[in-house]
Structure 1
Amino acid sequence: MRRNPHAAFATVTATALLLGGFATATAQAAPAGAPSLYAPSALVLTVARGEDPLTATVERAVTLTCAPTAEGTHPTPAAACKELAAVQGKFSELTAGPSNRTCTRQWDPVVVSAHGAWQGRQVRFSTTYGNACEMAGSTNGNAVFAF
């Protein structure tokens, strides 16, 4: 039996095109579904004026991403990520310290909040201070809410 050289060439070419097309489609699709090496740590941090975190007027807000690198609109993302890592993302430990600042007893509430994800866990944190002085005293030396 005699083989047709053109038919063999056509078969090889079609196979190469199919495999090439498959390889290209696989290469393009793989990054979208590839698992990340890092658990997501992306947060929105806010300072707002008011008593209730749901109705307070946001005065300042920043973004903070800690994995794989520290970045975002936060002025010192590396320091903030380091502080959060030290307390394993427990914001209440960052804001629970005693204030060594003398403040007036004026009632002008300020709310700090954090929403997003820390190492793959959902985060919804907020705490209210009597005024900006109390907030500054409680978060003194804390990079997370220093923006």
Structure 2
Amino acid sequence: MRRNPHTIFATITASTLLLGGFATATAQAAPTKTESLYAPSALVLTVARGEDPMTATVERAVTLDCAPTARGSHPDPAAACEELASVRGEFAELAAGPSNRTCTRQWDPIVATAHGVWQGKPVRFSTTYGNACEMAGSMNDNSVFAF
């Protein structure tokens, strides 16, 4: 039995309109709550070789999300989130402590960076150390950049 192509098109169109109207009515009946585009505390941390954070070669990078629970590719996200909370997300305070290490004066610069959001505020932090020993000493064995 051969069907008229116009009848088939009209049937498909009517079905689509009916289903589309039903889906629209259902979606409008239960609107979704709008969420923020950014997590309250989500960061990318890097350790790179070089003087300038824009041109340094990234050697290691991790993600760190502190809300609602500590998680990410960081090896110890709970400890890192706790340390950041203790300094109110001020990365410069993590690096401000006196070094307890004796390091050579070798110039082999290392750049530590943090980019993202901390408790809803944008973060763009970078600091350069003379070498890896100076970085480790300055960070005083903090967990944030221990990856």
SS at match of 2:68: coil
Please report the TM-score for the alignment, with normalisation by the length of structure 2. 0.79
How far 1:139 sits from its partner (Å)?
1.1
Residue 89 of structure 1 corresponds to 89
Please state how far the C-alpha of 1:76 moved relative to its aligned partner: 0.4
TM-score, normalised to structure 1's length? Answer: 0.79
Counterpart residue identity of residue 99, structure 1: S
Instruction: Indicate the residue corresponding to 1:42 in structure 2.
Output: 42
1:91 partner letter: F
Q: Residue 127 of structure 2 aligns to a residue in which SS?
A: strand
Secondary structure, aligned partner of 1:136: helix
* Equivalent position of 2:14 in the other structure: none
- Distance in 1 between residues matched to 2:49 and 2:133, nearest whole Å: 13
Shift in Å at residue 125 of structure 1? 0.2
RMSD of the alignment, in Å? 2.1
Give secondary structure in 2 for the equivalent of 1:44: strand
Tell me which residue corresponds to 2:11. none
Q: Which residue of 2 is the match for residue 30 of structure 1?
A: 32
User: Within 1, Cα distance between the matches of 2:23 and 2:136?
Assistant: 61
Q: Count matched residues.
A: 127
The SS at the match of 1:84 is helix
Q: What is the deviation of 1:19?
A: 8.9
| Superimposed CA distance per residue, residues 74-129 of structure 1 (whole angstroms, 9 cap, x where no aligned partner) | 00001100111111100000011111100000000000000000001000000000
Give CA deviations for 1:4-50 in whole Å, capped at 9, x if unaligned.
xxxxxxxxxxxxxx8996344443x404x2469x9610000000000
Counterpart residue identity of residue 94, structure 1: L
Q: Does 1:72 align with 2:72?
A: yes
CA distance change for structure 1 residues 133 and 39 in 2, over 3 Å: closer, same or farther? Answer: same
CA distance in structure 2 between the partners assigned to 1:58 and 1:35 by the alignment:
30
Give the residue type in structure 2 aligned to 1:47.
Answer: V
Task: Find the aligned partners of 1:107 and 1:20 in 2 and give their Cα distance.
Answer: 64
For the structure 1 residues 20 and 103, does the alpha-carbon distance in structure 2 shift closer, same or farther, using more than 3 Å as the test?
A: closer
Q: Which runs of 5+ in 2 are unaligned?
A: 1-20
